[in-house]
Amino acid sequence: MSVLRMGEMAVKDVKKYLETNQTIVFPYGIVEQHGYHLPLSTDIHNAEMLSDIIAEGLGCMVAPTLNYCFSGGMLPGTINVKPNHFSAFVVDIIESLTVQGFRNIIIVPGHGGSESLENLRESLRIAKWMNPQLRETTVLLLSFEDYSPLAYKAVFEDHDFHSGKLETSMMLAYRPDLVHMENLTMDPPEIAERLRQDPDSYQDRTYKTGMKEEIPSTKQHADVQVGVMGHPELADAAYGQAVLDEFKANIIPTLKKALNL
């Protein structure tokens, strides 16, 4: 792929770019537990592979990837940034890009954590509400599964949420050098199935009062030691490539039409 990467450009290059193009893709991911067969950086690569597809299809620039947000997982290697801190940081980045002259900003999450997404979506809405400079900037927060029926089926019908067939296949297609299927390990069957049926069941929430108003104490269940939520044993590079091709076929014409590109 031939992609313009902002971080590799000089000031004069960005100035020249902005004379004819005000669209930029902003990817973010996380450093997070992804079983024993995938790297901690999996969600960073998710964001980058999808952003590269968009940037190539639109002929636009990609901003440097933000590598941190909120996981909630507590296994070694996971780096958590509180959702409000993460969202405030992203808003700062969006404001900075707008000040420079960017008018179409496409945010591409590589991590699907609901806490980060919900906080970010509302933080961006409030930022556009309160900052007049942002009102003429189009900010899109993409949902990957909406543009790939294969991915949508995997997540919402097959309960392949995390480190399973979908993510492993995409990594096999994009960064096979980082996938180590020989290390594939699962939690005990009853725990693995529980995680597939309820991805939030990795959380152990405790209450003292029984009142609905109480804020619970939360930690990761001690019985979750691997944290795979899906079926990575079914992963296949061809399937991963089909997902990426499907995403490209759907997202590019949609963005071109929406942004008048």
Task: Convert the pLDDT of each residue in 219-238 to its tens digit.
Answer: 999 999 999 999 999 999 99
212, part of any domain: no
Q: Total structural domains in the chain?
A: 1
Indicate left, alpha or beta for 230 from its phi (over 0: left) and psi (-120 to 50: alpha): left
End-to-end alpha carbon distance in the chain: 20
Averaged pLDDT, 171-193: 97
Q: What is the pLDDT of residue 2?
A: 81
- Whole-Å CA distances, 107 to 89, 130, 175, 177, 249: 13, 20, 22, 27, 18
Averaged pLDDT, 118-144: 96
Q: Using pLDDT thresholds of 50, 70 and 90, give the confidence band for residue 1.
A: low
207, part of any domain: no
Between CA 95 and CA 133 the distance in angstroms is 8
Between CA 27 and CA 45 the distance in angstroms is 9
Q: Which of 175, 143, 156, 165 is nearest to 40 (CA)?
A: 175
* Residue 11: count of CB within 10 angstroms of its CB: 7
Task: Convert the pLDDT of each residue in 135-154 to its tens digit.
Answer: 999 999 999 999 999 999 99
Range of the domain at 92: 4-201+218-259
Between CA 251 and CA 53 the distance in angstroms is 9
- In whole numbers, what is the pLDDT of the chain averaged over residues? 96
Between CA 66 and CA 86 the distance in angstroms is 10
Between CA 114 and CA 117 the distance in angstroms is 5
Residue with tokens 């996938």: 179
Task: Convert the pLDDT of each residue in 95-115 to its tens digit.
Answer: 999 999 999 999 999 998 899
187, part of any domain: yes
Statement: residue 127 has pLDDT above 90: yes
**Domain CATH for 245:** 3.40.50.10310
Between CA 82 and CA 59 the distance in angstroms is 34
Task: Convert the pLDDT of each residue in 30-66 to its tens digit.
Answer: 999 999 999 999 999 999 999 999 999 999 999 999 9
